[in-house]
Amino acid sequence: MSTPYTVTVQTVDHGPVVLPEPSWCIKEHRDGIHRADIHHQGQEAAATVVLPGHGRVEFLTAFLSQYPFAEHASRGVNVAVEIEGEHLEFSSAELGELASAITSHVLYGLLPLRARLQSLEGEA
């Protein structure tokens, strides 16, 4: 059995904090922060589209996230998704609801609008 990997973060309110480092965490931990702000973050995944005049644009960036010493939120692992410039935390059930809402928007919002636009373009 292998020994879990640990990291030490120098905090301004609790001194050195030694904690287990999850295998999925890819970000370096900053020193000089509050213990509650220690954050494990996984690899980012994003939807991308190439827009004329803007190039490649990423949106709905998502990653595994954990604040193991959070004071006012879950201390467990969640998925953070960037929506309107803010990273919102989702449990697995909530992430399923978000995926369902996005799928519904594509099927019943965007694709019908695309079909309508194509018909209007055909009239020109």
Q: Residue 67's pLDDT is what?
A: 96
pLDDT at 1 over 70: no
pLDDT at 19 over 80: yes
Q: pLDDT digits over 40-89, tens only? A: 999 999 999 999 999 999 999 999 999 999 988 788 999 999 999 999 99
10 Å Cβ neighbour count for 38? Answer: 20
Q: pTM for the complete prediction?
A: 0.85
pLDDT at 2 over 70: no
Q: Residue 123's pLDDT is what?
A: 80
CA distances to 104, 109, 124 from 119, rounded to whole Å, are 22, 16, 9
CA distances to 37, 39, 69, 86 from 31, rounded to whole Å, are 10, 11, 15, 23
Q: Residue 124's pLDDT is what?
A: 67
Helix (H, G, I), strand (E, B) or coil at 41: strand
Work out the angle at residue 84's Cα, subtended by the Cα atoms of residues 41 and 87, and round it to the nearest 5 degrees: 20
* Domain residue ranges of the chain, discontinuous segments joined by +: 92-124
Q: Residue 13's pLDDT is what?
A: 97
**Among 9, 1, 3, 71, residue whose Cα is nearest residue 38:** 9
Q: Residue 4's pLDDT is what?
A: 77
